[in-house]
Chains A and B, each alone.
Chain A
């Protein structure tokens, strides 16, 4: 079985800090994969490397066995990788609907024939708006469609971010802390939506600190430590793995080191 998304020996350093070193992960098609690890272990950097926000120092990223290493973010998105950011990033002065239309842009043009695209065509055709409304209903913020995104609460923004990534029908969605700072009820809603989308065929790769969320949702969990994927397996295995405890809590020797420093 080949993986839908795969990184091979990806390394990235910021100055003297080795954020990723020889990091290899695999995400199976149709799965919900989790990516966990202590703060600074390179989870978000790995997301950035996959989605083109920065160049890798060495190693490669593959989507469907095609190399997509260090492609520009807009190209990566067009290829079918959608992502959200840890800090929810919405277009604050656009309406919720306009946020959706921005993300739908490259899907919209695809239907037009010929090379010429009318640059002054009104943004968002009827089909796009209909699809956008469906997705907003799916995530439960349809009644806010006409409001500016800056008026949304933090939780509503998380839902908007999920909605506008969905409108482009990506093959795989990378979620960076979808449950961070969200109330328990909403976390339940988000988890349920992810499961529903997964049943419809979308693959997920999720970075999350909420262990209950990750372990309850994911088929496969990979643990990052010091920029390296130390272990990967089903949630039950990960929970009891000694290396995971080491990564999170540090071993006895390391504790001595840090207190001596």
Chain B
């Protein structure tokens, strides 16, 4: 188990080192793609903190993302802000999104499963309609940011590092929550909410807290997106494909695991960026996305990382068994088979050790 932790730490270090040097190449397109990839890593991790841990599938993440976009857009527009100071506004987008999450959560979290999904979609469309119909949101023409007079070759670098920071903070937060009492309560709710209540877990409060934390991260990313994309438009700030994409990322990598959403985002977002450049018809990539979703749900319902992890553990266990049969290695009856359920992708064994 110790060597596994070492491998994981080493892998993370390499990943971070690669991420940190990418903009130094001065390749504008690469950095631009990098910003989107990192934003989706952060978004998928944030989505997973609520939906993955509690099992409540939310398709309303774009509500928080869009709220972040419009919050920062409106502040910038009214205060005529330019320059680096705008980066200080992103957390405000997160803050407003977190405030929105409280009534949203109090209503939506009363219902479960399919009903919950439907309620989140309904709230999502309410927000999209509000954005495109109110005058103070700029209606369908949206809001444009002030011109950023930055050097063309490095213009995306600040965005890149901010997105990297948000993604890392989100991942560390997810890790901290996972092993905490709070995280354990979330996972207990996922397995059996009524039973958790009967054991003293204040389920509404716990669910709402995770919902708000998730909203804060998504709102902050929305703020970043506003300057990065240079517009706040209803169809992009409140984009239904945003929800489907981050949910798919979490599902592909490993729903409810720590590394799953990161892996899924790193895998999927570059593909989407590439596909959009290959085919002029942007819907083609989205159709492929839908098909992919079906494949994942049917063939890999638990995601790539947990499935692969399980196969590896099973392989190791059978090898140990064979070694034991030859008279070497650990004696049979050791709980190798029993621990097989705890895959390396999920640190379920951590708290048990």
Chain A interface (Cβ < 8 Å from any Cβ of B): 51, 53, 72-74, 76-78, 83, 85, 89-98, 101-103, 105-106, 108, 119-124, 143-148, 150-151, 164-165, 168
Whole-angstrom distance between the Cβ of A136 and the nearest chain B Cβ: 12
CB of A89 within 8 A of CB of B341, answer no
CB of A93 within 8 A of CB of B199, answer no
* Separation of A239 and B1 alpha carbons in the complex (Å): 57
Which 5 A-B pairs give the minimum distances between C-beta atoms?
A: A146-B352, A91-B191, A123-B184, A106-B200, A89-B195
CB of A121 within 8 A of CB of B199, answer no
Partner of A102, one of B179, B199, B335: B199
- By a CB distance below 8 angstroms, the chain B residues around A92 are 191-192
* Separation of A106 and B339 alpha carbons in the complex (Å): 29
- By a CB distance below 8 angstroms, the chain A residues around B222 are none
* Separation of A94 and B184 alpha carbons in the complex (Å): 8
Partner of B203, one of A74, A108, A121: A74
Answer yes or no: B183 CB below 8 A from chain A CBs: yes
- By a CB distance below 8 angstroms, the chain B residues around A145 are 352
Q: Which of A72, A97, A122 has the most CB of B within 10 A?
A: A122
CB of A123 within 8 A of CB of B183, answer yes
Answer yes or no: B119 CB below 8 A from chain A CBs: no
Q: What mask results when residues 327 to 353 of chain B are scored 1 for a CB within 8 Å of chain A, else 0?
A: 000000001001101100000110111
A-B interface contact total, Cβ < 8 Å: 123
* Separation of A214 and B153 alpha carbons in the complex (Å): 80
CB of A105 within 8 A of CB of B348, answer no
Answer yes or no: B168 CB below 8 A from chain A CBs: no
* Separation of A68 and B24 alpha carbons in the complex (Å): 65
- By a CB distance below 8 angstroms, the chain B residues around A94 are 184, 187-188, 191, 348
Partner of A53, one of B180, B183, B194, B339: B194
CB of B353 within 8 A of CB of A151, answer no
Partner of A83, one of B182, B188, B198, B351: B198
Known pairs A146-B342, A151-B341 / 17 extra A-B pairs, C-beta < 8 Å = A51-B198, A91-B187, A91-B191, A91-B192, A91-B196, A92-B191, A95-B342, A95-B349, A98-B184, A102-B196, A119-B182, A120-B176, A122-B180, A122-B181, A147-B335, A148-B341, A148-B342
CB of B184 within 8 A of CB of A93, answer no
Q: A94-B187, A95-B352, A147-B338 are in contact. Are A74 and B202 (CB under 8 A)?
A: yes
CB closest residue in chain B, given A109: B181
CB of B199 within 8 A of CB of A120, answer no
CB of B203 within 8 A of CB of A101, answer no
CB of B191 within 8 A of CB of A77, answer no
Whole-angstrom distance between the Cβ of A75 and the nearest chain B Cβ: 9
* Separation of A98 and B346 alpha carbons in the complex (Å): 14
CB of A147 within 8 A of CB of B351, answer no
CB-CB contacts below 8 Å: B159-206 with A: 176-177, 179-185, 187-188, 190-192, 194-203
* Separation of A32 and B179 alpha carbons in the complex (Å): 38
Whole-angstrom distance between the Cβ of A140 and the nearest chain B Cβ: 16
Q: What mask results when residues 9 to 28 of chain B are scored 1 for a CB within 8 Å of chain A, else 0?
A: 00000000000000000000
Q: Which of B180, B200, B353 has the most CB of A within 10 A?
A: B200
CB of A98 within 8 A of CB of B352, answer yes
Whole-angstrom distance between the Cβ of A248 and the nearest chain B Cβ: 30
Whole-angstrom distance between the Cβ of A108 and the nearest chain B Cβ: 7
- By a CB distance below 8 angstroms, the chain B residues around A124 are 181, 184, 351
- By a CB distance below 8 angstroms, the chain B residues around A78 are 200
* Separation of A95 and B343 alpha carbons in the complex (Å): 12
Whole-angstrom distance between the Cβ of B207 and the nearest chain A Cβ: 13
Whole-angstrom distance between the Cβ of B256 and the nearest chain A Cβ: 8
* Separation of A69 and B342 alpha carbons in the complex (Å): 42
CB closest residue in chain A, given B184: A123
Q: A119-B180, A123-B180, A147-B338 are in contact. Are A53 and B198 (CB under 8 A)?
A: yes
